[in-house]
Amino acid sequence: MLSEFVGAFEVVFRYDWEYTKTMIGDEEDGATFIEPGLEDETNDWGARGALLEKYRRLVEAMKKNGLSPAFPFPLENLPGAPKRVW
């Protein structure tokens, strides 16, 4: 799962960056990249759909094993202090 996620991440944020920059922002109002609020997350951007699927599988495995994200700094340091989801 980790290798699949990193591979999907690399495609979206390195190898296909020009297209990613074009597509970022096509989410529904109030949505995020991780939860775009779109009926078909792969429509016109299969790399996003694959990345989100691999991400969700990895998150599920982490939760089953009692693991949580290790953020590089406290979320409180971000503008608007977002509420931690998990």
Residue 68 in contact with residue 86, Cβ under 8 Å?
yes
Domain spans of the chain, in order of start: 2-77
Q: Strands (DSSP E) along 29-69, which ranges?
A: none
Burial track 8-35 (b if 16+ CB lie within 10 A, e otherwise): beebbeeebeeebeebeeebeeeeeeee
The pTM assigned to this predicted structure is 0.83
Q: What is the mean pLDDT of the chain?
A: 90
Cα gap 35→43, rounded to integer Å? 15
- pLDDT grade, residue 2 (50/70/90)? very high
Residue 4 in contact with residue 47, Cβ under 8 Å?
no
The angle formed by the CA atoms of residues 39, 42 and 46, to the nearest 5 degrees, is 175
pLDDT higher for 66 or 27? Answer: 66
Residue 45, pLDDT score: 92
Residue 28, pLDDT score: 84
